[in-house]
A and B are shown apart, each in its own frame.
Chain A
Amino acid sequence: GAGVSQSPSNKVTEKGKDVELRCDPISGHTALYWYRQSLGQGLEFLIYFQGNSAPDKSGLPSDRFSAERTGGSVSTLTIQRTQQEDSAVYLCASSLDPFSGNTIYFGEGSWLTVV
Protein backbone atom coordinates (compact mmCIF):
# COMPACT_ATOMS: atom_id res chain seq x y z
CA GLY A 1 0.00 0.00 0.00
CA ALA A 2 0.90 3.64 -0.12
CA GLY A 3 1.55 3.95 3.60
CA VAL A 4 1.90 2.00 6.81
CA SER A 5 -1.40 0.32 7.57
CA GLN A 6 -2.51 -0.65 11.07
CA SER A 7 -5.51 -2.55 12.34
CA PRO A 8 -7.68 -2.31 14.24
CA SER A 9 -7.79 1.46 14.47
CA ASN A 10 -9.65 1.19 17.77
CA LYS A 11 -9.91 -1.69 20.22
CA VAL A 12 -11.70 -1.86 23.54
CA THR A 13 -10.91 -4.92 25.60
CA GLU A 14 -11.53 -6.19 29.07
CA LYS A 15 -8.75 -6.36 31.59
CA GLY A 16 -7.06 -9.73 31.45
CA LYS A 17 -7.86 -10.46 27.81
CA ASP A 18 -5.21 -10.84 25.11
CA VAL A 19 -5.08 -8.47 22.14
CA GLU A 20 -3.32 -8.55 18.79
CA LEU A 21 -2.45 -5.45 16.81
CA ARG A 22 -1.44 -5.72 13.19
CA CYS A 23 0.93 -3.65 11.10
CA ASP A 24 1.43 -3.79 7.35
CA PRO A 25 4.53 -1.77 6.46
CA ILE A 26 5.27 0.05 3.24
CA SER A 27 6.20 -2.42 0.55
CA GLY A 28 9.96 -2.88 0.31
CA HIS A 29 10.72 -1.46 3.73
CA THR A 30 13.02 -3.79 5.63
CA ALA A 31 12.85 -2.04 8.99
CA LEU A 32 9.72 -2.10 11.15
CA TYR A 33 9.19 -0.43 14.51
CA TRP A 34 6.55 -0.39 17.21
CA TYR A 35 6.07 2.59 19.50
CA ARG A 36 3.58 3.31 22.24
CA GLN A 37 2.06 6.72 22.80
CA SER A 38 0.50 7.22 26.21
CA LEU A 39 -1.03 10.32 27.75
CA GLY A 40 1.67 12.14 29.62
CA GLN A 41 4.34 9.65 28.58
CA GLY A 42 5.07 10.73 25.06
CA LEU A 43 6.26 8.19 22.53
CA GLU A 44 8.25 5.23 23.72
CA PHE A 45 10.11 2.70 21.63
CA LEU A 46 8.93 -0.89 22.01
CA ILE A 47 10.57 -3.16 19.44
CA TYR A 48 12.43 -3.01 16.14
CA PHE A 49 12.78 -5.53 13.31
CA GLN A 50 15.40 -5.25 10.58
CA GLY A 51 15.39 -7.84 7.81
CA ASN A 52 16.28 -11.29 9.09
CA SER A 53 18.21 -10.02 12.10
CA ALA A 54 17.10 -10.76 15.64
CA PRO A 55 14.67 -8.07 16.76
CA ASP A 56 15.63 -5.40 19.27
CA LYS A 57 13.15 -6.00 22.07
CA SER A 58 14.76 -3.65 24.54
CA GLY A 59 11.74 -1.38 24.80
CA LEU A 60 9.10 -3.97 25.63
CA PRO A 61 7.75 -3.04 29.08
CA SER A 62 7.05 -6.56 30.31
CA ASP A 63 6.93 -10.19 29.21
CA ARG A 64 3.23 -9.76 28.50
CA PHE A 65 4.28 -7.93 25.34
CA SER A 66 5.59 -9.75 22.30
CA ALA A 67 5.82 -9.14 18.59
CA GLU A 68 6.59 -11.10 15.51
CA ARG A 69 7.17 -10.30 11.90
CA THR A 70 6.31 -12.95 9.38
CA GLY A 71 7.97 -13.17 6.01
CA GLY A 72 9.77 -9.89 6.57
CA SER A 73 6.56 -7.96 6.07
CA VAL A 74 3.47 -7.93 8.30
CA SER A 75 4.00 -7.64 12.04
CA THR A 76 1.74 -8.48 14.96
CA LEU A 77 2.11 -6.98 18.43
CA THR A 78 0.51 -9.15 21.08
CA ILE A 79 -0.35 -8.03 24.59
CA GLN A 80 -1.32 -10.82 26.94
CA ARG A 81 -3.45 -10.42 30.06
CA THR A 82 -4.03 -6.74 29.34
CA GLN A 83 -3.92 -4.23 32.15
CA GLN A 84 -5.45 -0.77 32.32
CA GLU A 85 -2.03 0.82 32.08
CA ASP A 86 -1.68 -0.76 28.63
CA SER A 87 -4.27 1.71 27.32
CA ALA A 88 -2.46 3.78 24.72
CA VAL A 89 -2.03 4.35 21.03
CA TYR A 90 0.29 1.79 19.48
CA LEU A 91 2.12 3.17 16.48
CA CYS A 92 3.85 1.12 13.85
CA ALA A 93 6.46 2.56 11.53
CA SER A 94 8.68 1.35 8.72
CA SER A 95 11.68 2.47 6.75
CA LEU A 96 14.19 1.34 4.22
CA ASP A 97 17.54 0.34 5.64
CA PRO A 98 17.70 2.65 8.67
CA PHE A 99 21.45 2.88 8.71
CA SER A 100 21.48 5.02 5.61
CA GLY A 101 19.37 7.66 7.26
CA ASN A 102 16.11 6.92 5.52
CA THR A 103 12.91 8.46 6.77
CA ILE A 104 10.77 6.48 9.19
CA TYR A 105 7.10 6.51 8.15
CA PHE A 106 4.40 6.05 10.79
CA GLY A 107 0.97 4.53 10.57
CA GLU A 108 -2.08 6.15 12.12
CA GLY A 109 -1.96 3.89 15.12
CA SER A 110 -4.16 1.45 16.97
CA TRP A 111 -5.96 3.01 19.93
CA LEU A 112 -6.24 0.42 22.71
CA THR A 113 -8.54 0.94 25.67
CA VAL A 114 -8.50 -1.60 28.49
CA VAL A 115 -11.57 -1.46 30.71
Chain B
Amino acid sequence: AQSVTQPDIHITVSEGASLELRCNYSYGATPYLFWYVQSPGQGLQLLLKYFSGDTLVQGIKGFEAEFKRSQSSFNLRKPSVHWSDAAEYFCAVTPYGGATNKLIFGTGTLLAVQP
Protein backbone atom coordinates (compact mmCIF):
# COMPACT_ATOMS: atom_id res chain seq x y z
CA ALA B 1 0.00 0.00 0.00
CA GLN B 2 1.10 3.53 -0.67
CA SER B 3 2.38 5.38 2.36
CA VAL B 4 4.13 8.54 3.41
CA THR B 5 6.57 8.65 6.32
CA GLN B 6 7.64 11.71 8.20
CA PRO B 7 10.16 10.33 10.68
CA ASP B 8 10.40 13.46 12.81
CA ILE B 9 7.34 14.08 14.94
CA HIS B 10 8.68 17.22 16.57
CA ILE B 11 11.60 19.47 15.63
CA THR B 12 12.89 22.57 17.38
CA VAL B 13 15.19 25.02 15.63
CA SER B 14 16.53 28.44 16.50
CA GLU B 15 15.32 31.44 14.57
CA GLY B 16 17.69 32.09 11.67
CA ALA B 17 18.89 28.49 11.55
CA SER B 18 18.39 26.27 8.53
CA LEU B 19 15.65 23.67 8.44
CA GLU B 20 15.15 20.32 6.77
CA LEU B 21 12.01 18.25 7.25
CA ARG B 22 12.15 14.70 6.00
CA CYS B 23 9.59 12.88 3.93
CA ASN B 24 9.79 9.41 2.41
CA TYR B 25 7.14 7.73 0.33
CA SER B 26 6.36 4.24 -0.72
CA TYR B 27 4.80 4.04 -4.14
CA GLY B 28 5.49 2.04 -7.28
CA ALA B 29 5.53 4.83 -9.79
CA THR B 30 6.64 8.44 -9.43
CA PRO B 31 3.78 10.12 -7.63
CA TYR B 32 2.80 13.73 -7.33
CA LEU B 33 4.28 15.14 -4.11
CA PHE B 34 3.14 17.98 -1.91
CA TRP B 35 4.06 19.84 1.25
CA TYR B 36 1.32 21.54 3.26
CA VAL B 37 1.60 23.71 6.36
CA GLN B 38 -0.99 24.04 9.11
CA SER B 39 -0.73 26.92 11.54
CA PRO B 40 -2.63 26.71 14.85
CA GLY B 41 -6.37 26.97 14.22
CA GLN B 42 -5.85 27.24 10.48
CA GLY B 43 -6.55 25.03 7.55
CA LEU B 44 -3.87 23.44 5.43
CA GLN B 45 -1.98 25.69 3.05
CA LEU B 46 -0.02 24.36 0.10
CA LEU B 47 3.68 25.24 0.28
CA LEU B 48 4.82 23.56 -2.90
CA LYS B 49 4.24 20.62 -5.18
CA TYR B 50 6.23 18.40 -7.51
CA PHE B 51 4.70 16.90 -10.60
CA SER B 52 7.59 16.48 -13.02
CA GLY B 53 10.66 18.21 -14.41
CA ASP B 54 13.19 19.99 -12.24
CA THR B 55 13.59 18.00 -9.04
CA LEU B 56 14.22 21.13 -6.96
CA VAL B 57 10.92 22.88 -6.38
CA GLN B 58 10.49 26.37 -5.04
CA GLY B 59 7.47 27.21 -2.93
CA ILE B 60 5.98 30.02 -0.95
CA LYS B 61 7.46 31.59 2.19
CA GLY B 62 11.01 30.78 1.09
CA PHE B 63 10.61 27.02 1.22
CA GLU B 64 12.00 24.55 -1.29
CA ALA B 65 11.94 20.79 -1.63
CA GLU B 66 14.02 18.31 -3.56
CA PHE B 67 12.67 15.14 -5.09
CA LYS B 68 15.16 12.27 -5.00
CA ARG B 69 13.83 9.26 -6.84
CA SER B 70 16.66 6.98 -5.71
CA GLN B 71 15.85 7.67 -2.07
CA SER B 72 12.06 7.96 -2.48
CA SER B 73 12.34 11.24 -0.63
CA PHE B 74 10.92 14.73 -0.90
CA ASN B 75 12.55 16.72 1.89
CA LEU B 76 11.50 20.27 2.68
CA ARG B 77 14.13 22.91 3.34
CA LYS B 78 14.44 26.52 4.32
CA PRO B 79 17.79 28.30 4.69
CA SER B 80 16.73 30.62 7.51
CA VAL B 81 13.74 29.95 9.72
CA HIS B 82 11.49 32.74 11.00
CA TRP B 83 9.44 32.58 14.18
CA SER B 84 6.29 32.66 12.05
CA ASP B 85 7.28 29.32 10.51
CA ALA B 86 6.27 27.54 13.72
CA ALA B 87 3.50 25.21 12.56
CA GLU B 88 2.82 21.63 11.61
CA TYR B 89 4.07 20.45 8.24
CA PHE B 90 2.56 17.64 6.24
CA CYS B 91 4.01 15.78 3.30
CA ALA B 92 1.47 14.22 0.95
CA VAL B 93 1.42 12.05 -2.13
CA THR B 94 -1.17 11.05 -4.65
CA PRO B 95 -1.62 7.31 -5.07
CA TYR B 96 -2.47 7.54 -8.75
CA GLY B 97 -0.20 8.96 -11.38
CA GLY B 98 -1.66 12.20 -12.63
CA ALA B 99 -4.69 12.33 -10.33
CA THR B 100 -4.90 14.47 -7.24
CA ASN B 101 -8.24 13.24 -5.98
CA LYS B 102 -6.97 11.31 -2.98
CA LEU B 103 -4.00 12.69 -1.13
CA ILE B 104 -2.21 10.39 1.29
CA PHE B 105 -0.67 12.37 4.10
CA GLY B 106 2.19 11.73 6.45
CA THR B 107 1.57 12.10 10.16
CA GLY B 108 3.13 15.53 10.22
CA THR B 109 6.13 17.23 11.78
CA LEU B 110 5.53 19.87 14.40
CA LEU B 111 8.07 22.67 14.11
CA ALA B 112 8.91 24.88 17.08
CA VAL B 113 11.12 27.94 16.62
CA GLN B 114 13.23 29.22 19.49
CA PRO B 115 14.10 32.92 19.69
A residues sitting closer than 8 Å to B (CB atoms) are 3-4, 31, 33, 35, 40-45, 48, 50, 56, 59, 91, 93, 95, 98-99, 101-109
Contact = CB atoms under 8 A, between A and B. Distances in A.
26 contacts: A4-B43, A31-B101, A33-B103, A35-B105, A41-B107, A42-B90, A42-B106, A43-B103, A43-B108, A56-B102, A59-B102, A93-B44, A95-B100, A98-B99, A98-B100, A99-B99, A99-B100, A101-B32, A101-B51, A103-B46, A103-B49, A104-B100, A105-B46, A106-B43, A107-B43, A109-B43
Nearest to B108: A42
Contacts of A43: 90, 92, 103, 105, 108
Interface of B: 32, 36, 41-46, 49, 51, 90, 92, 98-108
Contacts, number: 62
Contact of A108 (B41, B46, B100, B104): B41
Contacts of B106: 42
- Which 3 residue pairs spanning A and B have beta carbons closest together? A43-B105, A42-B107, A106-B44
A83 B101 CA distance: 28
